[in-house]
Structure formats: C-alpha cells, structure tokens
C-alpha cells in the first residue's frame, strides 16, 4: 500500500465531506475545538511544512533564524488515539490495507482540526507508533508510520490493553479498528478502555468473503493466527451454517456496543475509502462537532 498524492487529495475531499455530513449543509465549517477555549502557551516545536503560519513565533526567528511554532494547551483539547489491529487475521481479504487507509483518513481529519493524534498498533501487545501529533503538516509523519508498520502475530485484546493509554488533559477518543477476532474475547479490553474515561468508538472491519463465501468443495483451511490446519468439505449446508454464525458474531459485537452506548460501524474492507468513512460518520460520535 502506498499513500501518494492522489490519496492525499482523497483525504482533503473526505475532510470536506465529513464536515458537511456532521454539521449539516447550512454550516459550511465545523466549529474549531480551539474557539472559545482558554488557551495557555505550552511550548515551542520546529515548524513543519503545512503548519499554520499564524502560530510562528517571529521573534524567535529574528533572534535565531529558525522557524518555531508556538503550541498551546486548551481547556477543550481533544486527543484522538487510533488503535490499529495489525494481527495476522487482518491480512485476510485486504482488511489490513483498508484499516490503514481508515487510520490515515481519520487521523488527517483530526490533524486539520488541530486535535492531538496518536497512533498505536496492537496484536497481543500494544505499541506506540506516533504520539501526540498536531497540525496538518504532521500527516506525513502519520502516513510514513502507517506505511512502515509490519504485520503482527496473534490477537489478544485483553493483554494488549491491560495498561493505561497515555493521554492529554481534556476529551480523549479511542478509535478501535479491528476485526474483533480474539478467542479470549474483546469485552474486557473495551471495558478497560472505558474505565480510563476514554470515549471508545468501535470500527469493525469485515470482508465480503467472510460474510458470504462463494467457494464450494474440499479445502485445506489454515488459521492465520495459530497456523493450525484443517481439511473441510464446504457443502452448501456447511456454508449456510457458517454464514449464520458469522452474522450472529457481528450482531453480538453490535449489541455489545449498543448496550454501552458506544458508536459502532461495520465497515466492508473492499468498499471505496469514501464509503468506508461514510459508514463511520453515520455511526455518529466520532466526527461530532466539538
């Protein structure tokens, strides 16, 4: 997967689409999280192309000849933690690539609105990949990190999210992008994130083949996460039973989210990126006005 100029143009279009869908056609601009907040100077950092030039400290430039951006803390600061499943099961049917594109799109929308964005990858462990990015210019750091992520191992959500996530003061969102394949169960992990007072949003990635497999006949099936193999004959009756169980599994995850009032989106990995983002926007909560 490569994030090229065409992909960046897609992100720009998605940002405009998201703002219109969330705010309504009568409001062309989404309200900035910084407007109306009490701002306090926090620190300087080197200027990155794409940063807002109004935050450049020209006095520092005059003294040292280098461009630095003034950073602020705000009472309404929003931190977006993108939790990306990189386990082996995500390699099936393009789910991994689809999830990375979604991580880029959601991260970009956060960055252009000056939210703080962090990226974490997980399988049985949680790894911080990029922390507390801020400003539109940092999208290139996020894209490079996503392109460089290696595939992981088996999933263990409970172990991955055993410890607390680093966070900033203010509102914190946790966007969980996963296929929810975890033999130990996902409930404890999600409840643990909620216990940290994070606003948890569930993005459930599936493929069309997982929903309705078309193959029939004798096959040697391999579990991507454990490597176990099993020879099966996919008869129409067995496929129908599988479809019933998979539908029940998705309904179980959806009901888990509904019972806890968590935004939930079922996303088809093979859909175009704009349609995948649209499904997440429709879940509400993730891209609400601040």
189: domain CATH number is 3.40.50.410
* Of residues 185 and 261, more confidently modeled: 261
Confirm whether 265 is domain-assigned.
yes
Q: Do 80 and 150 lie in a common domain?
A: yes
**pLDDT for res 274:** 82
Confirm whether 289 is domain-assigned.
no
For residue 28, pLDDT beyond 90: no
Residue % of the chain over a pLDDT of 70: 82
**pLDDT for res 35:** 39
Q: Do 85 and 61 lie in a common domain?
A: no
Chain centre to alpha carbon of residue 125: 17
Confirm whether 287 is domain-assigned.
no
Q: Do 59 and 155 lie in a common domain?
A: no
Q: Do 269 and 158 lie in a common domain?
A: yes
Distance CA 149, CA 152 (A): 9
Confirm whether 35 is domain-assigned.
no
Range picked from 54-63, 163-172, 183-192 for highest mean pLDDT: 183-192
Q: Do 63 and 190 lie in a common domain?
A: no
The model's confidence at residue 289, banded by pLDDT at 50, 70 and 90, is very low
The CA-to-CA distance between both ends of the chain, in Å, stands at: 32
**pLDDT for res 186:** 93
Q: Classify burial at 2, counting beta carbons within 10 Å of its beta carbon; exposed 0-12, middle 13-18, buried 19 or more.
A: exposed
Please say whether the dihedral angle defined by the alpha carbons of residues 27, 28, 32 and 36, taken in this order, is positive or negative: negative
Confirm whether 29 is domain-assigned.
no
pLDDT in tens, 101-127: 999 999 988 888 778 999 999 999 999
Q: Do 65 and 187 lie in a common domain?
A: no
Average pLDDT, the chain: 82
Q: Are 117 and 107 spatial neighbours (Cβ–Cβ below 8 Å)?
A: yes
pLDDT in tens, 183-226: 778 999 999 999 999 999 999 999 999 998 877 788 788 877 77
SS3 content of the chain, % helix, strand, coil (to 5): 40, 25, 35
Residue % of the chain over a pLDDT of 90: 43
Query: How distant, in Å, are the alpha carbons of 61, 126, 149, 218 from that of 162?
Result: 45, 9, 22, 41
Q: Do 81 and 66 lie in a common domain?
A: no
Name the residue range of residue 118's domain.
5-22+76-282
Q: Do 178 and 233 lie in a common domain?
A: yes
Q: Do 123 and 156 lie in a common domain?
A: yes
Confirm whether 11 is domain-assigned.
yes
Q: Are 180 and 205 spatial neighbours (Cβ–Cβ below 8 Å)?
A: no
Query: How distant, in Å, are the alpha carbons of 15, 104, 129, 161 from that of 8?
Result: 11, 10, 21, 31
Confirm whether 33 is domain-assigned.
no
Predicted TM-score (pTM) of this structure:
0.77
Structural domain tally of the chain? 2
């Amino acid at each position: 997967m490569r994030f090229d100029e065409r992909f960046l143009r897609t992100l720009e279009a998605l940002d405009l689409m998201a703002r219109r869908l969330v705010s309504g056609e009568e409001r062309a601009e989404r309200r900035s999280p910084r407007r109306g907040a009490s701002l306090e100077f926090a620190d300087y950092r080197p200027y990155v192309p794409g940063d807002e030039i109004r935050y450049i400290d020209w006095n520092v430039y005059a003294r040292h000849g280098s461009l630095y951006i003034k950073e602020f803390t705000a009472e309404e600061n929003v931190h977006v933690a993108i939790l990306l499943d990189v386990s082996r099961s995500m390699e099936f049917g393009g789910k991994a690539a689809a999830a990375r594109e979604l991580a880029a799109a959601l991260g970009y929308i956060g960055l252009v609105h000056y939210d703080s964005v962090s990226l974490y990858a997980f399988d049985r462990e949680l790894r911080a990949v990029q922390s507390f990015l801020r400003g539109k210019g940092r999208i290139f750091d996020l894209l490079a990190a996503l392109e460089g992520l290696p595939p992981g191992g088996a999933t263990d959500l409970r172990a991955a999210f055993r410890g607390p996530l680093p966070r900033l003061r203010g509102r914190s969102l946790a966007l969980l992008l996963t296929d929810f394949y975890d033999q130990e169960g996902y409930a404890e992990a999600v409840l643990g994130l909620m216990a940290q007072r994070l606003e948890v949003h569930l993005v459930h990635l599936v493929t069309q083949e997982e929903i309705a497999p078309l193959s029939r006949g004798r096959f040697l099936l391999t579990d991507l996460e454990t490597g176990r193999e099993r020879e099966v004959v996919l008869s129409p009756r067995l496929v129908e039973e599988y479809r019933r169980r998979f539908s029940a599994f998705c309904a179980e995850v959806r009901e888990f989210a509904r019972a806890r009032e968590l935004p939930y989106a079922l996303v088809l990995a093979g859909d175009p990126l704009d349609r995948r983002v649209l499904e997440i926007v429709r879940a509400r909560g993730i891209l609400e006005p601040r």
